[in-house]
């Protein structure tokens, strides 16, 4: 949603407003307005950044005067607030952005707008008054439903601090932005910066932005899309479409239905009583292991297959480490009748053999990645190479919050169901939606991001991300990315990765195939660097012991990945009333072989 | 005007460029190979610096990169080897490689050093336009280095125009959306694509790469562009015994 701040006239105030980065600023050239900018020096507009559109607002002004003022002040847009005809508007179309304002009430005749459609760029709908706007009153926004043209519009008239949140409920497809004016003032023409700031935060979801992605695909210093040109069209198609598709009501309905009836969501939030006793806090397990296919990976696979279908893709590729994402992808491809190819490191195929068979039974082709360390990173390389060669008909279902933008954001959104459900379930258990801690293991970071997502802005909630230390952080055989890595580019995004000083990617090691990855998603890199999250690591031995403990205290055999998160409990100190949620990202069936060998069962 | 611009100003067809990976098959071969290629008649060269995860490369260049890394090749070592480049080689030289090794070396330092040893241009397949334009272009420009962008059959016209604006020596056309090492198939759609590019009357010359393997694919490519680049096929030759003596015959075999 765009923001226009209108009615500026004091140089210092203009500077303070532009620092908030509105999309448009408006200057009123109408002698009867208390916000008339008469006498404002031309220079006062010169410092306004080019990204902000300077708008001159006129009421029945002559074309010559408007043209003169455009040239003088360098306006990028004009807003015509009087009785200007379509022909009059047409004179400026193509030269500047032309905004035509109308005052609306319940008797407004929307038919009259038709003649303007080809001659302007935007409408602005204000409250109908005897004067030309500026009343500070709202109109009944329901009448906007009668507006059916395809020209976007600004909403104006009486939008103030107490109703700004409501405008976010307007779902009209042409709703372009809000025009903020008299309700954010100290006196006419002097804006109240603090009030504006709050409104901007509400409109732009700024608090979410603090840890969320920006329009260029960055989370602070991390993210972006560092991809060869061969991948650009594929990734660009996704970037342009993903939000439209996943916000579409039809998509949401299908996604929710499959999550409920196919995956078995909501997954329980289980109060682990024996764990709670042992660790002296209320420990809750978010049971992603109970999902169909046995892990959180299915949430993302369902989302992406529905997206791929809407993009008209005929073939799916995926990479997999532990095989959980491969199985989830093979599953949704079977469900939709789409061809499926999964790349898997040769070493991982050996240590997660049951999952290889599962994928084959589900009809997928499994191709071993034999380059490099023959694990997850190399499987990802092979999948990217496949995608380069098949740019038109193939969708790549990346299994974690890694890869070029928009993947990290898209996968995080699909996995965010984990924390959305957790909040509701916590209210039932504890009376509050906020716990003191949430914990999750991090390979690329998708279960962790799903677990953190709706708590990111609740800064009282401590986010704990557990990486795999392998045989020890300093053993030379580890996958503890934040402990061992530094900033660089891996698989298309700027993030933190394990690398040599020459920028070669270091081959990681963990007993758990799903955590055996030398990077983390860019959003995790941002949470780490900004200290919003605490990043710790757990060794193979600690994880396996914790896995066994979970079997014996709670009767749940966790995936070895998950066991890393459980092991972290040993190292934490809790208050008796602390509520702690651990994401049980997957079940341990695939790991029985490793457990059995380790413990000699 | 750097050597690349001079070359394109003086010759605008049948330009032959050869790619090879530095440090393959052994260290201290880079300048020897470059010299032999110049003697054999190559017009300009791309020297690859190896990366552990070359996603845009097929098996041949992947293998050469692995061997080069095992041999100890790095940007630091490469620049040491290239110190004597300009006393022995006069044709234009480009460095080609992935972004992460450059980022660790330091982009500004990389550009300075490249200019210092006499490099003329850089190809970084995974450095996107947005980041180049907004963060790094000044380092390239200040050091007189051309940044080369790739274009594929799927690249939109608008984007090609943008690339044309940002380019200062030539544009690298990919015969199809592919990783390195696959043969050029001159289907109708590829021909349409070349014609489409020609019709755009770009400011920069074009050179076709990826999938050029022999004299006939070279000649075909030169029908549509100012020249063509051979990579994997030449890297294969470097894996053979006595490769240095075979370079002359190889180059003359491509462009008789
Ligand atoms: C059960 C389980 N947990 C965690 C992971 C790690 O992935 P992520 O960090 O993306 O959640 C995997 C990956 O295969 C997994 O199978």
- The residues, any chain, with a CB within 8 Å of residue A502's CB and separated by 6 or more, are B74, B75, B76, B101, B104, B105
Q: Check whether residue A275 and residue A199 sit in a common domain.
A: no
Residue nearest atom 16 of ligand 1, based on CA coordinates: A324
CB spacing of B101 vs A503 below 8 angstroms: yes
Q: Check whether residue A196 and residue A275 sit in a common domain.
A: no
CB spacing of A385 vs B99 below 8 angstroms: no
Mean pLDDT, all residues of chain A:
94
The predicted-structure confidence for A577-589, as pLDDT tens digits, reads as follows 999 999 999 999 9
Residue A371 lies in a domain: no
Residue A253 lies in a domain: no
Rounded-to-integer distance, Cα A291 and Cα A586, Å: 8
Structure tokens at B23: 């440090």
Does A266 sit behind a cis peptide bond, omega within 30 degrees of 0 on the bond before it?
A: yes
Rounded-to-integer distance, Cα B61 and Cα B19, Å: 10
CA atoms within 13 A on the CB side of A451: 35
Is the pLDDT at A39 greater than 70? The verdict is yes
What is the predicted ipTM?
A: 0.94
Count A/B contacts: CB-CB distance under 8 Å. 107
CB A523 within 8 A of CB A453: no
User: Domain B3-254 carries which CATH code?
Assistant: 3.20.20.70
Average confidence (pLDDT) over A479-499: 97
The predicted-structure confidence for B156-214, as pLDDT tens digits, reads as follows 999 999 999 999 999 999 988 888 877 666 666 788 898 999 999 999 999 999 888 99
Q: Check whether residue A548 and residue A429 sit in a common domain.
A: yes
Q: Which atom of ligand 1 is nearest to the CA of A400?
A: 10
Task: Out of A204, A222, A245, pick the residue that ends a domain.
Answer: A204
Q: Check whether residue A265 and residue A194 sit in a common domain.
A: no
Q: What is the CATH number of the domain that holds A430?
A: 3.40.50.1100
The predicted-structure confidence for A322-353, as pLDDT tens digits, reads as follows 899 999 999 999 999 999 999 999 999 998 89
Rounded-to-integer distance, Cα A336 and Cα A323, Å: 20
Is the pLDDT at A232 greater than 90? The verdict is yes
pTM of this prediction exceeds 0.80: no
Q: What is the CATH number of the domain that holds A86?
A: 3.20.20.70
Rounded-to-integer distance, Cα A330 and Cα A341, Å: 8
Residue A254 lies in a domain: no
Band of residue A311 on the pLDDT scale cut at 50, 70, 90: very high
Q: Does B95 touch chain A (CB under 8 A)?
A: no
Task: Out of A156, A179, A204, pick the residue that ends a domain.
Answer: A204
Place of tokens 């022995």: B88
Q: How many angstroms separate the alpha carbon of residue A249 from the centre of ligand 1?
A: 29
The predicted-structure confidence for A370-417, as pLDDT tens digits, reads as follows 988 888 999 999 999 999 999 889 999 999 999 999 999 999 999 999
Q: Which string of b and e fits A179-213 if b means at least 16 CB within 10 Å? A: bbbbbbbeeebbbbeebbeebbbebbeeeeebbbb
Nearest to A155 by CA among A173, A175, A172, A137: A175
Is the pLDDT at A206 greater than 60? The verdict is no
CB A269 within 8 A of CB A421: yes
Is the pLDDT at A248 greater than 60? The verdict is yes
Percent of chain A at pLDDT > 70 equals 99
Q: Which 3-state string (H, E, C) describes A473-533?
A: CCCCCCECHHHHCEEEEECCEEEEECECCCCCECCCCCCCHHHCCCECCHHHHHHHHCCCE
Lowest mean pLDDT among A190-199, A539-548, B20-29: A190-199
Residue A149 lies in a domain: yes
Q: A166, exposed or middle or buried, with CB in 10 Å at 0-12, 13-18, 19+?
A: exposed
Q: Check whether residue A192 and residue A272 sit in a common domain.
A: no
Residue A383 lies in a domain: no
The B121-123 sheet, strands edge to edge: B146-148, B121-123, B93-96, B44-48, B15-21, B227-230, B206-209, B171-174, B150-151
Average confidence (pLDDT) over A565-593: 96
Q: How many angstroms separate the alpha carbon of residue A461 from the centre of ligand 1?
A: 22
Residue A352 lies in a domain: no
Mutate to test the pocket of ligand 1, among A416, A441, A562 (most ligand atoms within 8 A of CB): A441
CB A256 within 8 A of CB A421: no
Residue nearest atom 10 of ligand 1, based on CA coordinates: A446
pLDDT at A207: 45
The series of mean pLDDT values per 10 residues for chain B, 256 residues long, is 92 96 98 98 98 94 96 98 98 98 97 98 95 93 96 93 96 87 70 91 94 91 94 96 97 95
pLDDT at A391: 86
Rounded-to-integer distance, Cα B81 and Cα B31, Å: 7
Q: Which residues pair with A104 in a beta bridge?
A: A127
Residue A335 lies in a domain: no
The predicted-structure confidence for A264-306, as pLDDT tens digits, reads as follows 999 999 999 999 999 999 999 999 999 999 999 999 999 999 9
CA distance B39 to chain A (A): 32
Q: How far, rounded to the nearest angstrom, does the alpha carbon of residue A249 sit from its chain's CA centroid? A: 18
B46 carries an active-site annotation? yes
Q: Does A374 touch chain B (CB under 8 A)?
A: no
Rounded-to-integer distance, Cα A199 and Cα A246, Å: 26
Rounded-to-integer distance, Cα A259 and Cα A418, Å: 11
Q: Check whether residue A452 and residue A570 sit in a common domain.
A: yes
Instruction: Please tell me the total count of domains within chain A.
Output: 2
Q: Check whether residue A155 and residue A282 sit in a common domain.
A: no
Reduced to 3 states, what is the DSSP secondary structure of residue A180? strand
B241 carries an active-site annotation? no
Residue A426 lies in a domain: yes
Q: State the residue range of the domain holding A34.
A: 2-204
| CB A585 less than 6 A from any atom of ligand 1 | yes
Average confidence (pLDDT) over A550-570: 98
Rg (CA), chain B: 17
Mutate to test the pocket of ligand 1, among A585, A587, A592 (most ligand atoms within 8 A of CB): A585
CB spacing of A502 vs B76 below 8 angstroms: yes
Q: Check whether residue A175 and residue A280 sit in a common domain.
A: no
On chain B, the residues whose CB falls within 8 A of the CB of A377 are: 53
Q: Check whether residue A535 and residue A452 sit in a common domain.
A: yes
Q: Check whether residue A70 and residue A197 sit in a common domain.
A: yes
pLDDT at A166: 84
């Amino acid at each position: 949603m765009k923001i226009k701040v209108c009615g500026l006239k004091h140089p210092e105030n203009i500077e303070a407003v532009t620092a908030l980065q509105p999309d448009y600023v408006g200057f009123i050239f109408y002698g009867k307005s208390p916000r008339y900018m008469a006498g404002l020096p031309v220079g006062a507009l010169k410092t306004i950044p080019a990204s902000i559109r300077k708008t001159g607002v006129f009421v029945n002004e002559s074309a010559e005067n408007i043209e003169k003022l455009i040239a003088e002040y360098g306006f990028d847009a004009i807003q015509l607030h009087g009785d200007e005809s379509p022909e009059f508007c047409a004179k400026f179309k193509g030269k500047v952005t032309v905004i035509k304002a109308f005052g609306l009430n319940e008797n407004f005749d929307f038919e009259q707008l038709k003649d303007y459609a080809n001659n302007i760029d935007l409408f602005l709908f204000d409250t109908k008054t005897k004067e030309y706007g500026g009343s500070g009153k709202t109109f009944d926004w329901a009448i906007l439903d009668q507006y059916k043209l395809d020209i976007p519009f600004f909403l104006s008239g009486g939008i103030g601090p107490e109703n700004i949140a409501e405008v976010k409920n307007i779902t009209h497809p042409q709703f372009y932005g809000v025009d903020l004016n008299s309700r954010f003032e100290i006196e006419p023409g002097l804006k109240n910066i603090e009030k504006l700031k709050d409104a901007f935060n509400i409109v732009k979801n700024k608090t979410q932005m603090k840890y969320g992605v920006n329009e260029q695909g960055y989370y602070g210093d991390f993210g972006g899309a560092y991809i060869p040109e061969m991948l650009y069209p594929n990734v660009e198609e996704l970037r342009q479409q993903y939000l439209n598709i996943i916000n579409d009501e039809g998509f949401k309905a299908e996604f929710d239905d499959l999550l409920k009836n196919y995956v078995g969501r909501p997954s329980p939030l289980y109060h682990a009583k024996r764990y709670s006793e042992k660790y002296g806090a209320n420990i809750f397990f978010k049971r992603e292991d109970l999902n169909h296919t046995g892990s959180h990976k299915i949430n993302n696979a369902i989302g992406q297959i529905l997206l791929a279908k809407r993009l008209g893709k005929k073939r799916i590729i995926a990479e997999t480490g532990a095989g959980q994402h491969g199985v989830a992808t093979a599953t949704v491809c079977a469900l939709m009748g789409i061809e499926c190819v999964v790349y898997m490191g040769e070493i991982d195929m050996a240590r997660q053999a049951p999952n290889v068979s599962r994928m084959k039974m589900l009809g997928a082709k499994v191709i071993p990645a034999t380059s490099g360390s023959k694990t997850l990173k190399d499987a990802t390389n092979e999948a990217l190479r496949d995608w380069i060669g098949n740019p038109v008909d193939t969708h790549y279902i990346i299994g974690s919050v890694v890869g070029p933008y928009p993947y990290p954001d898209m996968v995080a959104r699909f996995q965010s169901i984990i924390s959305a459900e957790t909040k509701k379930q916590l209210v039932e258990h504890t009376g509050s939606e906020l716990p003191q801690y949430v914990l999750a293991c991090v390979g690329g970071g998708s279960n962790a991001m799903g677990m953190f997502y709706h708590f990111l802005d609740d800064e009282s909630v401590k986010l704990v991300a557990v990486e795999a230390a392998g045989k020890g952080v300093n053993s030379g055989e580890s996958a503890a990315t934040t402990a061992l890595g530094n900033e660089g580019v891996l698989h298309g995004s700027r993030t933190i990765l394990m690398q040599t000083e020459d920028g070669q990617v270091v081959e990681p090691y963990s007993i758990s195939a799903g955590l055996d990855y030398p990077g983390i998603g860019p959003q995790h890199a941002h949470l780490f660097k900004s200290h919003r999250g605490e990043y710790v690591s757990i060794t193979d031995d600690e994880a396996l012991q914790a896995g066994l403990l979970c079997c014996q205290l709670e009767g749940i055999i966790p995936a070895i990945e998950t066991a890393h998160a459980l092991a972290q409990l040993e190292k934490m100190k809790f208050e008796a009333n602390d509520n702690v949620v651990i994401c049980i990202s997957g079940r341990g069936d695939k790991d029985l072989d490793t457990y059995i060998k380790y413990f000699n069962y | 005007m750097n050597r690349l611009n001079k070359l394109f100003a003086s010759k605008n067809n049948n330009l032959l460029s050869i790619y090879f990976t530095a440090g393959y098959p052994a260290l201290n071969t880079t300048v020897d190979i470059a010299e032999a290629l110049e003697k054999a008649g190559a017009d300009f060269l791309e020297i690859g610096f190896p990366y552990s995860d070359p996603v845009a490369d097929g098996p041949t260049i992947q293998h050469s990169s692995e061997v080069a890394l095992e041999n100890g090749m790095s940007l630091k070592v490469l620049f040491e080897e290239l110190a004597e480049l300009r006393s022995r080689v006069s044709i234009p030289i480009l460095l080609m490689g992935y972004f992460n090794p450059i980022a660790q070396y330091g982009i500004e330092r990389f550009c300075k050093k490249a200019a210092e040893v006499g490099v003329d241009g850089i190809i970084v397949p995974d450095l996107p336009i947005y980041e180049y334009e907004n963060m790094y272009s000044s380092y390239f420009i200040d050091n007189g280095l051309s940044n080369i962008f790739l274009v594929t059959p799927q690249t939109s016209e608008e984007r090609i125009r943008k690339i044309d604006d940002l380019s200062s020596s030539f544009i690298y056309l990919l015969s199809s959306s592919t990783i390195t090492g696959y043969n050029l198939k001159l289907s109708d759609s590829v021909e349409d694509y070349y014609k489409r590019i020609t019709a755009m009357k770009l400011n920069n010359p074009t050179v076709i790469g990826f999938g050029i393997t022999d004299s006939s694919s070279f000649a075909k490519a030169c029908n549509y562009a100012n020249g063509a680049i051979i990579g994997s096929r030449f890297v294969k030759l470097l894996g053979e015994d006595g490769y240095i003596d075979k370079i002359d015959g190889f180059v003359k075999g491509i462009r008789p």
